Chain A
Amino acid sequence: MPQVAQVHMDVVPDAAHVRVVRLVAVSLARLHGVPEDVVEDVRLAVGEACARAVAAHRRHDVDQPVKLGFEGGPGLKVAVSDGVALPEASGDEAVRLLLAGPDDQSPDADSEAAPAVMALLEGLAEQVSVHTGHSGTRIVLGWGAGR
C-alpha cells in the first residue's frame, strides 16, 4: 500500500465529468485500503459532493474548474472545492446555500434534492464538513482504512 499520497484534479464544470471523478475516487479508495464494503459509499458521497459543485457552477455561470484534492494513506480524505461565492456558513445551512439559485426567486430543480444531500453525505462518509464562503464551498469527506 502506498504511503501518504496526494492527487489533485481540476474538473471542467460539466455534469458528464462527475462520473469520471467517481471512478477516480473508487480507485484511490481501494489503493489506500478503504474496506471493500465501504468503497461504494465513497463512490456515492464523492459523486454527490462533486455533482453539487458542478451544478452550482452551472447555476451561477462560473466557468472555472471544480477542484478536487485526494489525500490517501491510510484511508482517504477528499476535498471538493467550488468557486461560487456564497455567504459564510457551515453544515446544513451551507448545503442549503449551495443548492439555492443565484437569488431566492430562481431555485432550479436541484432544490428538490436539498434535504437529501446532507443526509447522504453524513450517512455515507465517516467524516464530513461543509463550509461556504466568499471564495466558494469546500466539502471535505473522509474514510478510514480497514485493519
Chain B
Amino acid sequence: MDLSLDTRNEGDWTVVAVRGEIDVYTAPKLREALVDLVNAGRYNLVVDVERVDFLDSTGLGVLVGGLKRVRANDGNLRVVCTQERLLKIFRITGLTKVFAIHDSVGSATDG
C-alpha cells in the first residue's frame, strides 16, 4: 500500500503525518486511523499532508468524515499543507472554508 502514517501526540493534539498517495485504494487506511484515534478519545487532530503526492475525492471525504467525528466531540481537525497542487484541490472543492489549513505543524498545534 503506497501510504504510510506516523502518529504522535503533541500536548492536547495528535499529529498524523501522512506520506504517499491518498486515493480510492489507500484512503481506507487513513479513515481507519482517524476513527481509531477518535475512539481512543483523541479529538484534536492535525493531519499533516506535506509529504502527500496525491489526494483525490476519496481522501477529501475521509478528511471531512474525520472533521465531523471530532466536532461531534467538541474537537477539531486541522490540516498542514503548503503544496500548491494540493491546496488547489482544497480550493476547487470549497474545502478551504471548511478546514483550517496551516503552513506548519507548529502553527497547527499552537492554540
Chain B CB count within 10 A is highest, among A15, A109, A113, for A113
> Contact mask B1-31 → A, CB, 8 Å, 1/0?
0100000000000000000010111000001
Q: Please list the residues of chain A having a beta carbon within 8 angstroms of any beta carbon in chain B.
A: 15-16, 18-19, 22, 40, 43-44, 47-48, 51-52, 54-55, 109-110, 112-113, 115-117, 119-120, 123-124
Out of A19, A110, A124, name the residue touching B58 (CB < 8 Å).
A110
Q: Is the CB of B56 within 8 A of A48?
A: yes
Q: Is the CB of B93 within 8 A of A109?
A: no
Q: How large is the interface on B (under 10, 10 to 19, 20 to 34, 35 or more residues)?
A: 20 to 34
A120 and B54 alpha carbons, distance in the complex (Å): 13
Chain B interface, DSSP helix/strand/loop, else mixed: helix
How far does the Cβ of B38 sit from chain A's closest Cβ, in whole Å?
15
Q: Is the CB of A15 within 8 A of B92?
A: no
Chain B residues positioned under 8 Å from A47 (CB to CB)? 23, 54, 56
Q: Is the CB of A44 within 8 A of B89?
A: yes
Out of A19, A52, A112, name the residue touching B21 (CB < 8 Å).
A19
Chain A residues positioned under 8 Å from B31 (CB to CB)? 109
Chain A interface, DSSP helix/strand/loop, else mixed: helix
6 A-B pairs with least C-beta separation: A113-B61, A123-B92, A112-B61, A51-B24, A15-B25, A113-B57
Q: Is the CB of A120 within 8 A of B89?
A: yes
Chain A residues positioned under 8 Å from B57 (CB to CB)? 48, 51-52, 113, 116-117, 120
Is residue B87 contacting chain A, with contact meaning CB distance below 8 A?
Answer: no
Is residue B65 contacting chain A, with contact meaning CB distance below 8 A?
Answer: yes
Q: Is the CB of A55 within 8 A of B24?
A: yes
Chain A residues positioned under 8 Å from B21 (CB to CB)? 19
Chain A residues positioned under 8 Å from B89 (CB to CB)? 44, 120
Q: Residue on B with the closest CB to A124? A: B92
Q: Residue on A with the closest CB to B84? A: A40
Chain A residues positioned under 8 Å from B61 (CB to CB)? 109-110, 112-113, 116
